[in-house]
Structure formats: structure tokens, C-alpha cells
Amino acid sequence: ICSFIHSPKGFPKLKNDTFLRAARGEETEHTPVWCMRQAGRYLPEFRETRAAQDFFATCRSPKLCCELTLQPLRRFPLDAAIIFSDILVVPQALGMEVVMVPGKGPIFTEPLKEVEDLLKLRQKVDVTAELGYVFQAITLTRHSLEGRVPLIGFSGAPWTLMSYMIEGGGSTTMAKAKSWLYRHPEASHRLLRLLADVITDYLVGQVAAGAQALQLFESHAGHLGPEQFQDFALPYIRDIAQAVKSKLKEEALPLVPMIIFAKDAHYALHDLAHAGYEVVGLDWTIQPQEARAQTGKDVTLQGNLDPCALYAPKEKIGELVKKMLEGFGTQRYIANLGHGLYPDMSPEHVGAFVEAVHAHSRHINKH
């Protein structure tokens, strides 16, 4: 378990900056790689560390978050770490109760049902008071990484968080949340604005605590059509990038690269590439060449191997990685899966994925 060093400044010098260089569009010797949900239940040591603890109690323990973040890096030569946390800590900061039910996932004890329920939410959130445990986890982890790789911070995006807050948990249709967009557009915008403001402060706080890159997860983008995405998701995605950057400047904090990952939002790739993020993350349902054509030359792409490809034999994983690298090219590119790792995946196959990215990209770069 991680040791704590008291001075939050004076972080160890970064030894492997490949991920950050790729994010900024600089040349790299190999294509950097990390995995969404790389700290996850597919690792036996993760299951052991988490066994006795309530999920959100784990999220509130900087020591445990640090340990879980570091576990995959002890096994695999990944090029980035991502802090162990959850997107639903933001609704908690707004005063909502969320419990993790084994086998079911997150459940909100009192989801938002009527427009009046918005009044129950905290209208002003002191992120340090409410989410300081995430900042502590980031600072502790940044020290404990000893400069091995950069540390990524993250948040859910406004529409995705709104959908959870109204649905009260996962949903296949998002019908309750989407009905708000059609029936209560003004109230929806009020909620999305409140979320965007809190997320902005939360992301800036993560950089102040030591995060070296930020990813915004619009995981439920695919439930919206192009028009609703234009109205209720994209403006807030744009605002967050702009507001985070201007606050980082104001507070003399490092301008870290930002990644937007909007799952299933192919219809919006061109707009996302111009939304103020250095990196656009892709799910597995789009061809590399098609994604490049839509996003242009000025952003780095991240993704997008089908997570289920990791069930294939190791040689096959290598072939799929090679094909993916040939599609995207090895530069201005960060290899990843098109979504997170699943709990029943073999750690050896995750290792085969990471090694294939390094080996094939080095080979392509030489020749």
C-alpha cells in the first residue's frame, strides 16, 4: 500500500512521457497504450483489495484508490495510470445518495422525478469539501508512481450524470432522462449547467492535486440523436474544456491535455474534434480511417479495440492490434480499448494487448 509524502508539490520527475507527447501531437518512438478500467475486477489483487469494502467507501479512501491505481502498472508496461474513482461521486457531491448494489450496479435511493427535485440539490458545491478525498488520492498516487507514467484524472460529463440522476441507475433506454429533455428543456439546461460548473471545478482541483491529463466520459452519448446531442451534450462538453483551461491559466496550473470520450457519438465526431480537447476517444464501432477523416489532423485519437477482442487467443490479439495501428497510424494516436475491461478477462490477454501495441508500433516506426 502506498506511502504518503507530505509535500503535495515537489512531485517526482516524469520518466515516461510518451502518453503526454502523443496527446499533444508530438512525435513518439512507440504508440502509448492504457486501458479504460485497467484498475478492475479482472485482476485477482484488485478483488482482494476491494473484498471487505463497500464500493464508495473504497472511493473515499485515498490509500485504497492509490493501491488500486498502481496494481495494473505492477503487471503491465502501460504508458499511463488513471486514478481509481467513479463518475457518480459528482452527484454525491450535489447531495444525492448513491449505493453500489452487488450484481446490480449503482442505485440512487431518491432519483430526480419532478423538476422541483432540482431544489434538493446543492446549488453551490465546495469541491474541496465534498471531493477532497479524490484530490488526496491523486496527490498520493502521483507521489507513489515515482514518475513512472503520467496520472490521468477524470469526470463524467453532464448529460451522462444527469441520465443517472434521473434514471436512478443503469437503463437500456434512458427514457426517463430523455423525457426530461423533451418535456422540461429549461430545467434540463439548469441541471446540466449546474453539473458543468461542478465538473469544471472538480477537474481543475484534480490538476491542482497532481493529475497530468483529464478525461471526460460522455458514456451515454449514444442514447441521444444528433439534435439532442447538439442541444444538451455538446455545448456543455465545449464549455467544460474552455472553462477548465481558463481556470488553469488563472490559477497558474499546468495546461494538461484533455480527452473527450463520447461513446457511440459517431454523428458528432467532427464537432467533438473542434470542442477544445487535445484527444478524441473512440469506441470500437468505427473504422480508424473513417474516424481520422471526420476528426482531421489537429487532434490525437484514442481507442478503439473491441474489448471483447481480448477473449481471442493471444496471437489473434496481436494481429488485431497490428491492423488497428495500420488503420490509425502510429503517431497522434493513443492505443486503448473502445470501452472498459470486463471482469472476466484474462490478465495475460491484457498483457498481450499492451505488448503488441509497443512491439508493432516500434516496428512500423522503424520501417
- Count H helices and E strands in the chain, helices first: 15, 9
Q: Where are the domains of the chain?
A: 17-302+329-343
- Predicted pLDDT at 25: 98
pTM: 0.97
Contact at 8 Å (CB) between 23 and 257? yes
Catalytic residue from among 21, 50, 142, 148? 50
Identify the band that residue 13 occupies on the pLDDT scale cut at 50, 70 and 90: very high
- Predicted pLDDT at 8: 52
* Selection from 109, 124, 230, 127 nearest residue 164 by Cα: 109
Pairing of β 279-281 and β 258-262: parallel
**Kindly report the CA angle at 344 between 339 and 347, in degrees rounded to 5?**
85
- Predicted pLDDT at 176: 98
Catalytic residue from among 37, 60, 148, 238? 37
Q: Is the confidence at residue 5, as pLDDT, over 90?
A: no
* Selection from 206, 210, 235, 215 nearest residue 303 by Cα: 215
Question: How much is the average pLDDT of 258-270?
Answer: 97
311 catalytic residue (yes or no): no
Place of cell 512521457: 17
148 catalytic residue (yes or no): no
Catalytic residue from among 24, 41, 75, 193? 41
Mean pLDDT of the chain: 96
Cross-strand bridge partners of residue 210: none
342 catalytic residue (yes or no): no
Catalytic residue from among 17, 21, 142, 164? 164
37 catalytic residue (yes or no): yes
41 catalytic residue (yes or no): yes
| 290-301: pLDDT as tens digits | 999 999 999 999
Q: Is the confidence at residue 3, as pLDDT, over 70?
A: no
- Predicted pLDDT at 80: 99
Contact at 8 Å (CB) between 152 and 215? yes
Identify the band that residue 99 occupies on the pLDDT scale cut at 50, 70 and 90: very high
Task: Name the H helices within the chain.
Answer: 18-23, 44-50, 55-59, 62-75, 89-93, 127-144, 158-167, 175-183, 185-209, 226-232, 234-250, 269-273, 288-295, 314-328, 347-366
- Predicted pLDDT at 52: 83
Catalytic residue from among 24, 86, 133, 362? 86
| 293-348: pLDDT as tens digits | 999 999 999 999 999 999 999 999 999 999 999 999 999 999 999 999 999 999 99
Q: Which option is the CATH number for 17-302+329-343: 3.40.109.10, 1.10.3720.10, 3.20.20.210, 1.10.150.130?
A: 3.20.20.210
Identify the band that residue 103 occupies on the pLDDT scale cut at 50, 70 and 90: confident
